[in-house]
Amino acid sequence: MKILVTGGAGFIGSAVVRHIIDQTQDNVVNVDKLTYAGNLDSLATVSESDRYKFEKVDICDRASLERVFLDHKPDLVMHLAAESHVDRSIDGPAAFIETNIVGTYTLLEVCRQYWNGLNAEARARFRLHHVSTDEVYGDLEGSDGLFTEQTSYAPSSPYSASKASSDHLVRAWNRTYGLPVVITNCSNNYGPYHFPEKLIPLMILNALERKPLPVYGKGNQIRDWLYVEDHARALYKVLTKGSVGETYNIGGHNELENIEVVHTLCDLLQELVPPSSSQKLDTVNHYRDLITFVKDRPGHDLRYAIDASKIERELGWVPQETFETGLRKTVLWYLDNHDWCARVQDGSYQRERLGAGVKA
């Protein structure tokens, strides 16, 4: 199979590309605009494979997208390209409307035209897999329920509203034009190669530099955490085994308050890099001392939690990592991959590619 992946240089997209190249015999065409979130260093371990191709293309650019489809003739499409950071969507929603809504619309139209031109066998095989988030369901504050595939949409932020819009468009293209789509809605991911503006990598890198660990509000927001490689396996399973027109929720059964996540991280770092061992004149006794509470994000949802029983029951997927094992792997990865982090922090990842030297 040839799989066209949009957003394959991002956090989850790169995990998907590494999974396909390392664990299957399929080919990948990575279509990515390389925004600040796109990092080709994250693909250094697979980019030399003859089953991997890269196209620097904006999904809003219809002519270029059509050219990519004609050149590569994909069997399947996985759509992960998006603006993904909630805080950035509050500061500047325009890019979210453009990529997440207009970009998804453009991809749908290009897929529809391409799919209509395929022979019967290729048409039957074709799938567009739209990758979305649990944030479209809104806030579970005051409820001990879980998001199911039937939960009504009630997005709170410009990010989640733009993702909800894209989900609606994808469903409409299936219902109206018969385009064979599958949709997944996943909880918060964490793991290696995560851009350091997100909670877990930000806390690890700040702690190592003895900078404050900023926690929103009281840190009592609850998220359901999933290790990114478990997500990549789930996505490949839905792409290849999911039923057309269906939605699958993906989650890790790891509901934790943000402050619990930060405490667990601090304790892990305390065990792995005790402060005095790494700096002679260390001002910190315990990494927990660096925690500072900052003004909460406007419209911050209090609780998200996923019911992942459908994908477990119908497709036999279950996460392999617990939060403890996944978080330990993540911290060890950040400790081992100083070059990747330094190049993100000094911006050089956007100027030139690191060779195959990045550790897996």
User: How many whole angstroms separate alpha carbon 283 and alpha carbon 276?
Assistant: 9
Window contacting ligand NAD (CB under 6 A); options: 5-13, 232-240, 330-338, 341-349: 5-13
For 33, the 3-state DSSP assignment is coil
CB of 10 to ligand NAD, least distance (A): 2
Q: How far is CA 348 from CA 39, 45, 263, in A?
A: 10, 18, 31
Which CB atom, from 108 or from 131, has the smaller least distance to ligand NAD? 131
Dihedral in degrees, nearest 10, Cα atoms 122, 127, 128, 134: 180
The question of whether 121 is a catalytic residue gets the answer no
189 binds ligand NAD (CB under 6 A): yes
Q: Does the protein bind ligand NAD through residue 32 (CB under 6 A)?
A: yes
Member of 21, 40, 68, 80 binding ligand NAD (CB under 6 A):
80
10: buried, middle or exposed (CB in 10 Å: 19+, 13-18, 0-12)? buried
Identify whether 301 is a catalytic site residue: no
Does the protein bind ligand NAD through residue 229 (CB under 6 A)? no
Q: Which of 41, 55, 83, 135 is catalytic?
A: 135
Comparing CB distances to ligand NAD, the nearer of 61 and 289 is 61
- Kindly state whether residue 37 participates in binding ligand NAD, applying the rule CB under 6 A: yes
Phi, psi of 47 (to 5 degrees): -70, -15
Rounded CA separation 192/25 (Å): 23
Q: How many residues bind ligand NAD (CB under 6 A)?
A: 30
Q: Which of 45, 84, 104, 221 binds ligand NAD (CB under 6 A)?
A: 84
134 included as an active-site residue? yes
Distance CA 357, CA 341 (A): 13
All residues at 6 or more sequence positions from 76 whose CB lies less than 8 Å from its CB, including other chains: 1, 2, 3, 4, 125, 126, 127, 129, 239, 240
- Indicate the SS3 state at residue 184: strand
Minimum Å gap between C-beta 220 and ligand NAD is 19
Q: By CB under 6 A, name the binding residues for ligand NAD.
A: 6-7, 9-13, 32-35, 37-38, 58-60, 80-84, 99, 103, 131, 133, 163, 186, 188-189, 195
- Catalytic residue list: 134-135, 159
